[in-house]
Amino acid sequence: MKKAQLVLVPSPGIGHLVSTIEFAKRLLDQDESFLVTVLVIKAPFAPDIDTSNQSKIATIDTRIKYITLPQATPPDLEFLRSPENYVSTFMEAHKPHIRDAVINQVMSNKSVPIVGLVVDLFCSSMIEVAKELGISSYVYFASGAAFLGLLLYLPTRQDQVEFKETDPDLTLPCFVNPVPARIMPSVLLKDGGYICFENHARRFKEAKGIIVNTFTELESHAVSSFSGKDTPPVYPVGPLLNINGQSLMGSNLEEHGKIMRWLDDQPEKSVVFLCFGSIGRFREAQVKEIALGLEQSGHRFLWSIRKPPPEGQLKLPSDYSSYEEVLPNGFLERTKNIGMVCGWTPQMQVLAHKAVAGFVSHCGWNSVLESLWHGVPVLTWPMYAEQQTNAFEMVKDLGLAVEMTLDYRMRSNDIVLADKIAESVKCVMEEDSEIRTKVNAMSEISRKAVMDGGSSFAAFGDLIENMLS
């Protein structure tokens, strides 16, 4: 069997890293002829989490070779006015390390040719390294096709300046409905961030192909919008999910066991699950409104609360030592028979549990795909990154989620009030709603897409043929 080497360069964000590794695993499941190397970049923040990750990554799949790169000097904190620009600048500083690793640790195996350098959204500058070395480049896009279409639209705009929330609604080929400017990702509302993402999109067009973690049946409109344009071939190969694997965020087995035992004791489809990703957190005033809203709704709940890091520090949220410091007086006592408050949760396992019937989510793309896989309707509460457009697509274009808010931003002073939260929770927990029926149908479709004969399986076949050509 002829062998071929593939090098993957993910950015260090958990959602990007896990998704990229899942892509590598699925590729190897479908074609064993590949030798896959992942170049691991250490995060410029949360060194304790990062160190833990390094030891766990190598155990995920022994078919994959992992090379941890020396860390480049992080940019000055002035780049923090746009976190995305900060990360992109940090990734670009690793170009010499990427070049050295490819030349000295991958190309040294002269008997097996390298057929591709697969780079993450934030690592598009590595396409230049691929060109220098005479290697084909591919973009691995961990978000959805609609957001990809939005980015590819940026270089075509006549007014190449950041969006303003007061701009008129935008008609974009990748969305079914006109998109309100107020739900544009925060990065596109800032000068530094907008230019950064416009540059990424320009580089995408230099790649041999763009691999997207979605499936055609979910985003058929967005996927079809790429045909016949000056865009590399787009391969929808998802959903790529860490279904049975361990979390890279660390795990408190005792706490996780407690969560799963609590769910075991709840009636089937009776619990609303609230979880907001690895970065999501709320100010104390909003936490109190969520608590009051849950209490008013009368539904059982499992709520993951995370403590914000100190202002201005590049750290991830942590667990509270005592929830009483942010919750309303007496809340835990009043809800002890119907609710559980916890810290970090094993999200995939929770969504898979028969007791869970609704998911209040930040609408990160991995979370969207996980909820659909398990047939759990989402109540949208976007916070950062491209989550506002994800929420808009799910609610307005696809009818697969219930709207709580579409334009909330983690760093804003907006407050979603308890009455709105209670009303929305009741809505997402309706037993026979049209949305629940549609989500259950999409759950079956998502599972068929990755099976032999499914749309994503076929897209993987086309991608492999492109790589080996």
List strands edge to edge, sheet with 378-380: 339-342, 300-304, 271-275, 356-361, 378-380, 401-403
| Region label for 464, one of left (φ > 0), alpha (ψ between -120 and 50) or beta (otherwise) | alpha
CA-CA distances (angstroms) from residue 181 to 158, 171, 184, 360, 368?
A: 16, 10, 5, 24, 22
Please pick, among 16, 94, 221, 299, the residue that the annotation labels catalytic: 16
Backbone phi and psi for residue 92, each to the nearest 5 degrees, phi listed first = -60, -30
Q: 41 near 17, Cβ under 8 Å?
A: no
Catalytic residue check, 200 = no
Q: Is residue 167 annotated as part of the catalytic site, yes or no?
A: no
Residue among 379, 366, 382, 369 at smallest CA distance from 183: 382
Q: Nearest Cα to 263, choosing from 351, 325, 199, 195?
A: 351
Q: Exactly one of 94, 120, 221, 353 is catalytic; which is it?
A: 120
Please tell me the distance from the alpha carbon of residue 233 to that of residue 344, in angstroms, as a whole number.
38
- Total residues found in the chain within this entry: 469
Report in angstroms the alpha-carbon separations of 115 from 7, 130, 336, 369, 465.
9, 10, 57, 29, 11
Buried b (16+ CB within 10 A) or exposed e, 223-258: bebbeeeebbbbbbbbbbbbeebebbbeeeeeebee
Structure tokens at 193: 């961030």
Active site residues: 16, 120
